[in-house]
Amino acid sequence: MTAILSNLQATREAIAQAARAAHRNVTEVRLLAVSKTFPAMAVREAYSGGQTAFGENYLQEALAKIGALRDLPLEWHFIGPIQSNKTRAIAESFAWVHSVDRLKIAERLSAQRPSNLPPLNICLQVNVSEEESKSGVAAEDAVQLAQQLARLPHIKLRGLMTIPAPAVGEREQRAPFAQMRALLERLNSQGLALDTLSMGMSHDYPAAIKEGATIVRIGTAIFGQR
């Protein structure tokens, strides 16, 4: 068994263990393999182990991989910062976008989504730790922006995404994820039918799962150090 396949199996087992510890069904948690900076060959190898959903941060690199792997039934997720001049290619090439934090970007994705494709699944990125260096809408502004996004055609607001500040210890890691879960519940109480919490990466996904993560974005633990 190759390193990628062995890591993939170990990651799935760890996800299942974290789900059981949280008294959740493991089928409630999807693994998004973050393949940024790794070649198409690595994605193909992970696919041979049953992985079909892959996350990319850099558009040109992602488009090259999507083209090279068109023979595989893969689901591509864009998870990086979005510039206005990149929205058309994203709208045309991806099934999910996790990093929307401005109405302008959402409006462009909505207008540029091809009519022959299903609605583009969107997550609203929230800067839960209020870090100046990170993208994301402030938590107090997320409710209004979510309501605006939910009204746009050709996209479907599915939930929230966050990348909290690094923390040591499970209690510290769980705190921002708990905030995100509470925010999702608040949005749903106002009439939005959201079902997705995209949160947790290689270093903190067990804590995220215990606070309700439905998608964990894991790269290093599967593909190795970049």
Distant-in-sequence, close-in-space partners of 112: CB < 8 Å, separation ≥ 6: 87, 88, 91, 92
0.75 surpassed by pTM:
yes
| Domain coverage including residue 208 | 3-223
**105 CB neighbour count, 10 Å cutoff:** 21
Chain segment 29-58, per-residue pLDDT in tens: 999 999 999 999 999 999 999 999 999 999
Distant-in-sequence, close-in-space partners of 55: CB < 8 Å, separation ≥ 6: 32, 33, 34, 35, 36, 77, 78, 79, 98, 217, 219
Chain segment 70-129, per-residue pLDDT in tens: 999 999 999 999 999 999 999 999 999 999 999 999 999 999 999 999 999 999 999 988
> Residue 172 sits in a domain of what CATH number?
3.20.20.10
**Number of domains present in the structure of the chain:** 1
